[in-house]
Amino acid sequence: MSHVFPRHTKSALPTVSHGKGVYLYDKAGKQYFDGSGGAAVSCLGHGDPDVTAAIKEQLDTIAFAHTSFFTSDPAEQLADKLIAHAPEGIERVYFVSGGSEAMEAALKLARQYFVEIGQPQRRHVIARRQSYHGNTLGALATGGNAWRRAPFAPMLVDTTHIAPCFEYHGRHNDETPFDYGQRVANELETEILRLGDDSVIAFVAEPVVGATAGAVPPVEGYFKRVREICDQYGVLLILDEVMCGMGRTGTLFASEQDNVRPDIVAVAKGLGAGYQPIGAMLCSAQIYAAIENGSGFFQHGHTYVGHPVACAASLAVLTKLTDGGLAAGVSTLGDKLQTALEQEFGNHPHIGDIRGRGLFRGLEIVQDRETKKPFDPARALHKDLKKKTFEAGLVCYPMGGTIDGQNGDHILLAPPFIMTDAHIDEITSKLRIALDQVL
């Protein structure tokens, strides 16, 4: 009997044996194409010798020294490199162990910022219904996924949710994409005014939405309008790039493509590429200055903040993504993947939408393409899809969505950046096998 507490108590999982490049192998010898890196983690694939060497070297130097006593070379160098590529105005980095921790740090820093500058009445957070920001209690409260929240309600953080920017489901036929984006962005202003124009800490959003919807990019102009509203009411903009960041969409930060300047941005997953657990919360010079000139202390911390081995691994990853040019190749590969998916499934009676950016792609499964009506959620189609794609030797990320009550099943693809054109065929043909069996 296994003593590991599994995700699902009723399903037995194969034991992973090893990974090489874009493939994972289980102990029975079966090979899987890692088409989602878990959930957009393994951007460099498996067994990268440079990252492994960096980890070993760091372990031989110093594995751990608590950050209340020491800083470390890998943490300093990684922060320098991240800031060199970060959006304008972002100047400080706080390292944590994953995405939820990065979002907790973001939310707490945003709140502390307003306490430091003498606006303690600000306590509300606004997020979007189609979102996931992590599983710890603050991050969970911020996310809009009803199913994940339900067992833990009422929530600790005072969050309300506005409409997502989800063109496929939300745009009216007589509306241009731009007008649609302005309309849903303006919901932010309405909500700020409803809560009280000096009572909101932050608006939180994933630039390209991951797990809850399957790689949904915003329409043009949406984030520009969001930024304007945030500026008008002194609300901080927190971007959650835990899944879509670190080159996944073709630029190191996904928000670069929307020309939006965040006050705080959270990254994780691709930052460590799965070689070490690491996440980061990056903030603006202005926010940092408020802490520096105020209490001088961010009232937060975890034992493994700035862990030297995690930072060393991440530095090796980031070097490959930036200096090595890997992130730059993602757009080209991603466009080819999109074209191939459209060729293969564009006329499929149950694939309603194929979308995304870079190597972050989603396919939405619908019962009826005309009405975009999803399959009955009770059928839990995504579970069958997960099983069948896995059997076909493809690891991808099928999920049931919760989009304003319309439950769209979708498949999320987030393959490693080291894949080649040849793997595109492998993805589409394995997906085809699974889809034919399930639908």
Smallest gap, in angstroms, from Cβ of residue 300 to ligand PMP? 16
Pairing of strands 90-96, 31-34: unpaired
Q: Beta strands of 235-335 (E only): which ranges?
A: 236-240, 264-267, 279-284
Q: Which of residues 96, 184, 215, 243 is near ligand PMP by CB under 6 A?
A: 243
Which H/E stretch holds residue 361? strand 360-365
Smallest gap, in angstroms, from Cβ of residue 69 to ligand PMP? 26
Q: Does 242 bind ligand PMP (CB under 6 A)?
A: yes
Task: Compute the distance between CA of residue 434 and CA of residue 398 in angstroms, rounded to an integer.
Answer: 12
Q: Does 416 bind ligand PMP (CB under 6 A)?
A: no
Q: Rounded to the nearest 5°, which phi and psi values hold at 99?
A: -70, -45
Q: How many residues of this chain interact with ligand PMP, rule: CB under 6 A?
A: 15
Report CA-CA distances (Å) from 79 to 17, 69, 319, 385, 422: 33, 18, 12, 40, 36
Could you tell me which stretch among 56-64, 131-139, 362-370, 395-403 binds ligand PMP (CB under 6 A)? 131-139
| Binding track, positions 251-270, relative to ligand PMP; x by CB under 6 A | -----------------x--
Judged by CB, which is closer to ligand PMP: 271, or 424? 271
Report 86-115 residues binding ligand PMP (CB under 6 A): 98-100, 103
Task: Compute the distance between CA of residue 111 and CA of residue 103 in angstroms, rounded to an integer.
Answer: 12
Smallest gap, in angstroms, from Cβ of residue 408 to ligand PMP? 17
The one-letter amino acid code at 438 reads V
Smallest gap, in angstroms, from Cβ of residue 279 to ligand PMP? 6
Judged by CB, which is closer to ligand PMP: 242, or 351? 242
Task: Compute the distance between CA of residue 53 and CA of residue 208 in angstroms, rounded to an integer.
Answer: 32
Q: Does 132 bind ligand PMP (CB under 6 A)?
A: yes
Residue nearest to ligand PMP (CB): 99
Sort 126 into a burial class: Cβ within 10 Å, 0-12 / 13-18 / 19+. buried
At how many degrees (to 10) do helices 308-321 and 73-85 cross? 30
Smallest gap, in angstroms, from Cβ of residue 101 to ligand PMP? 7
Smallest gap, in angstroms, from Cβ of residue 323 to ligand PMP? 25
Report 5-44 residues binding ligand PMP (CB under 6 A): 39
| Binding track, positions 374-413, relative to ligand PMP; x by CB under 6 A | ----------------------------------------
**Beta carbons within 10 angstroms of residue 38's beta carbon:** 13
Judged by CB, which is closer to ligand PMP: 281, or 438? 281
* 420 Cβ neighbours under 8 A, 6+ residues apart: none
Report CA-CA distances (Å) from 368 to 113, 349, 353, 354: 48, 7, 12, 15
Q: Does 116 bind ligand PMP (CB under 6 A)?
A: no
As beta bridge partners, residue 265 has 239, 282
Q: How would you label 21-30 residue by residue, b for 16+ Cβ within 10 Å and e otherwise?
A: bbbbbeeeee
Judged by CB, which is closer to ligand PMP: 90, or 435? 90
Task: Compute the distance between CA of residue 226 and CA of residue 331 in angstroms, rounded to an integer.
Answer: 25
Report 169-228 residues binding ligand PMP (CB under 6 A): 206, 210-211
Give the dihedral sign, CA 199/202/203/204. Answer: negative
**Beta carbons within 10 angstroms of residue 367's beta carbon:** 18
Could you tell me which stretch among 27-35, 165-173, 237-245, 375-383 binds ligand PMP (CB under 6 A)? 237-245
Q: Does 240 bind ligand PMP (CB under 6 A)?
A: yes
Smallest gap, in angstroms, from Cβ of residue 302 to ligand PMP? 12
Q: Does 54 bind ligand PMP (CB under 6 A)?
A: no
Smallest gap, in angstroms, from Cβ of residue 410 to ligand PMP? 14
Task: Compute the distance between CA of residue 142 and CA of residue 314 in angstroms, rounded to an integer.
Answer: 27
Q: Which of residues 81, 122, 124, 133 is near ligand PMP by CB under 6 A?
A: 133
Judged by CB, which is closer to ligand PMP: 191, or 206? 206
Smallest gap, in angstroms, from Cβ of residue 308 to ligand PMP? 20
Report CA-CA distances (Å) from 345 to 101, 350, 365, 376, 428: 37, 9, 11, 21, 9
Judged by CB, which is closer to ligand PMP: 39, or 65? 39
What residues make contact with ligand PMP under the rule CB under 6 A? 39, 98-100, 103, 132-134, 206, 210-211, 240, 242-243, 268
